[in-house]
Structure 1
């Protein structure tokens, strides 16, 4: 009788797993059907996950499984859906659950006998999966009959598909197996590797270096020499590279592999073979106790057999817990004796935090290694690294990369990607920008860019803009003209506060011109009475800077009056309730570091809350409850306060604020006061003085000293409030009525009526909004609901001694 092919052996092994999972004593025909349906999963895993097959056998398995899968596809048979449904059918059948023996039922033995005959008839030396499937479908099975009925699939059609595929295979000449493009690099059948386990679970960096598949390590000569020196020691010859993610630890090891294959390499290291061990692959598929240990022991045995073999374990902290579940011995404990004897050479790499969390706590493991610190390169060093990699990127993308673009990639990544490290973040930006150039002319049949295409600043800026969610113009300085007219934009929404707008505009322009300290945020302190436009200016500034009103992060400080409120802003420390949740401030800034942050009514917060502001204002950063550093340097921070604005000036300067403005005067800081006279100057000085005294009394000097600008908002005059009605309040109402097709107009009498009712110097524009809603919006809504005002009408509102009158055209 014909023997089982390698793919059929895998199907039978999978059938045993299915029978065991269903708690059946023996393997039956239905379990073999499940194994055949699961066979296609082999195509999505690597050979290293399946033992007992050499390379040629594995390639033959892939060919058989692909042919079997294609045969099923001919009749639109979905094996995943089928096996899930059949498992449920078998579970519902009510068969008794027993311990798995691993033997076949008599019925299953008959199935294999029939499959052998089918293989012999097809002149096949081995029993293939298609022979097993046809034999299985030929048996009587209520479960399979129910399955095909529910799936609306004909058994005969599936059997015919297997026969068609069999005929095609029989008619085909015996051709050499060709899987992928790397066949020529595969070992010949006669060749037998001395390190099959290392070949299976590792990556030979030395061979990749010989093949030119590794990138050069630039400006890392000192670290590479240190690795070589440690490896040459008699004892403790195990270096461990420690540095933040992205600084180039793996690149240092690859640079060492490149140094080994150089003709000028020292003879002491010339025969070294560096193997990168994949711990994930080593653990994968180890279902039973002892399997992982057996694999690792095999790795160590092969590594210790040749003193020139050097293991490289990236993320070496994973050794501590790898394979240690279910009573098994952890990988670290297995490796310790070999490391202590010097039987193997091992290079490790991990981050500082993980080294301290996992390696340092295991003192026996820690002392086996010698630490090599890999620091983040400086700006100039990172540029040199990119220049060393430029040729590789130009060859891969087929475009030209000028020196200026390398410098720009480093510069912009340092400024905007503060949570990541050089050179990795600059390399990412460069690679993504080159990919954008490649796809500029993307269309059917065209995938690459023109041969003479060159990387530009716009390409790099676009990548930064997408990753950081900031306007492209902010990176390319394309909004220079717009910045020069920032006052005009702000004054459209903030009326009557010309001096405040001017101070904000000057500060923003200075920052955009590059004169601001790049490590500090812009900090404003808006002070003055309520309803004068402090919050409105923060909103319109967010829209101007980031083209998105949602970039305003508003935090009401009245919610932080308790001592423990700091935890709400930055997150709770470990061990406290809510530790898993992000802080209300730090969480939003981590997601959108380019925002306007408004701390409204800041004087109402608990004094301890101000302590966290000191670091934010001075250093531009803050550490949250999880120990993560949050960057505020690109944010605009606005504090608002009403302190001192309700204090009555002394009697000698006591006078009403809010008189009409002199249109001809140029001193805009006199908003809300009478024309420029000595007496009014006294009023202004008194108003500002009383606010400043209140602020100095309420806040500590170290807090106030870190604020960039304190800007006073003055009470609004009657004419200013009248402008607010015409320019802001009424247009907002008409905007909301646009969908209803209704428009509202106010007569001068109506405006004067609203001013008489709603003008309040202490309460500002908010009081006018309330009066407008009470006298205009609410009565109008009543008329719309009753049908007095309908679509297409213009409502003319007038006023007389009896109040507001509504009329329609």
Structure 2
């Protein structure tokens, strides 16, 4: 049982397998006579072995829940992680390849399982993917070690990682990095914003990335062969004018939104005619001014001709009066043609904007194509800036020790910008976390309609900041108003615990309604096997 259920699924090397098997046998021998488990019977079962093995080796107990289905789980790792990490298939595939190499026993036994540099815009999920990797490997999203490398900007701070040398303050307490891995050898290490660390700190990791080990200040060698090392960075992003691309995209999206909202032909026609009112008013004003000018000239000529006595001068004045009518007609026709041309161009522009006539789909396709071209240009500039930033910031010997991007020969993995079509999934994931937390703490079920999700998507996405505004949107439209509403209901003597609460949108904000009380369903269990069931839940 121990050999098949624990060691084989770990896919350990032979020497490590033997150590695990010996440890399991020691556990069985030491506790068989005294440990009371499985409904009072003196039997050591797999749950006890997992618990003792986890405490002894630092391997998560969740990782030891192994069986024949484990191989299938690693084969389908991309699909599992992609359920929670959106639009980062390349990074997920790079991690999955490294994990599968290790689990199949085909990886280099003298190096960490994976060594990655994740780069890209803010708010794209670099740190979040690390949490999801920990969740996948260890059944716990917090089972990783994080170092904010902005705290290691000074040269002397490298000692915090391996421990202070003799005669220095802190000697004997161990290093933050070496102690964390020594106590928990199976772990994920996150080096956040690695570009901010001092180059002396990077030198510490050269040995880890190449040999999978590091000696601390007390001379103890710490093994990093069972760790996944992930570094995140925004290197190069400062050189990208992201605000320019955001403005261009927002302009196209607003026009697309106006097209999508233009469904009623009568309403569209009214909007077009209203948009032409200004030009029409200008046309009429110019024609009236032209007529007034000619009328004044006619009056002046008539007054002057009435005082004339010479026949030739009278005839000349009459000819000038007759020519005024022709001149008025010519200028009126020219003014009307000019204004009609302006009005026709404006009408075409407004019809394209509001979707009038049969050109709505054509206009929409044109705007979407323009938006796609802007997205491509933005991504190309990001890739170029990251290439220049990484190669200038990090030394070649550091970069060459990292794992490659599966889609290129780069030693770094670029995270994709989040698109508008991705934000709906992110909204559902973040709302689900809060709904699950509310259900766990208070037994309250939150019911949200599509209108609530549309409101979150509208306010929770920014092309510049990715998914970061989504958490603020969830707090603004759900958590904060719900907290106030729950307290208001408590003042009236009603409790939200064990109730269903419906969330809807009204006048651009959220409203809440108390529904029926939930009935708790308690699973009945027989006494037989209760100890094993409880142990499995705890583990």
Match of 1:575 in 2: 167
* Alignment equivalent of 2:197, drawn from 594, 597, 605: 605
Match of 2:83 in 1: 492
Kept in 2, the 8 Å contact 1:555–1:599? The answer is yes
Match of 1:584 in 2: 176
For residue 719 of structure 1, report the CA deviation from its aligned partner.
Answer: 2.4
Alignment of 1:443-454 (within 5 A): none
Distance 1:796 1:639 in 2: 42
For residue 526 of structure 1, report the CA deviation from its aligned partner.
Answer: 1.3
Match of 1:656 in 2: 249
Alignment of 1:271-420 (within 5 A): 412=13, 414-415=15-16
For residue 416 of structure 1, report the CA deviation from its aligned partner.
Answer: 7.4
Match of 1:791 in 2: 497
Distance 1:586 1:475, change over 3 A: farther
Alignment of 1:82-161 (within 5 A): none
Q: Which runs of 5+ in 1 are unaligned?
A: 1-400, 418-424, 450-456, 661-672
CA RMSD of aligned residues (A): 4.3
For residue 731 of structure 1, report the CA deviation from its aligned partner.
Answer: 1.1
Distance 1:804 1:437, change over 3 A: closer
SS in 1 for 2:204: helix
Name the one with the larger helix percent. Answer: 2
- Alignment TM-score, normalising by the size of structure 1: 0.42
Match of 1:483 in 2: 74
For residue 781 of structure 1, report the CA deviation from its aligned partner.
Answer: 0.6
Distance 1:442 1:774, change over 3 A: closer
Deviations 1:714-755 (A, max 9, x none): 1211221121112x1111111221132333333333333323
Q: Is 2:455 the partner of 1:753?
A: yes
Match of 2:232 in 1: 640
Match of 1:512 in 2: 103
Distance 2:489 2:42 in 1: 61
Q: Is 2:125 the partner of 1:533?
A: yes
Q: Is 2:231 the partner of 1:630?
A: no
Q: Which has the higher contact order (CA 8 A, sep 6+)?
A: 2
SS in 1 for 2:179: helix
Q: Which runs of 5+ in 2 are unaligned?
A: 257-367, 405-411, 516-539
Distance 1:438 1:783 in 2: 56
SS in 1 for 2:414: strand
SS in 1 for 2:237: coil
Distance 1:407 1:792 in 2: 45
Distance 2:40 2:451 in 1: 69
Match of 1:693 in 2: 388
Deviations 1:784-807 (A, max 9, x none): 122266234433333354433333
Distance 1:615 1:577 in 2: 25
Distance 1:770 1:570 in 2: 38
For residue 434 of structure 1, report the CA deviation from its aligned partner.
Answer: 7.2
Distance 1:438 1:563 in 2: 53
Distance 1:476 1:462 in 2: 16
Alignment of 1:165-244 (within 5 A): none
For residue 513 of structure 1, report the CA deviation from its aligned partner.
Answer: 1.4
- Alignment TM-score, normalising by the size of structure 2: 0.61
Kept in 1, the 8 Å contact 2:163–2:216? The answer is yes
Kept in 1, the 8 Å contact 2:249–2:374? The answer is no
Distance 1:473 1:426 in 2: 12
Counting matched residue pairs gives 379
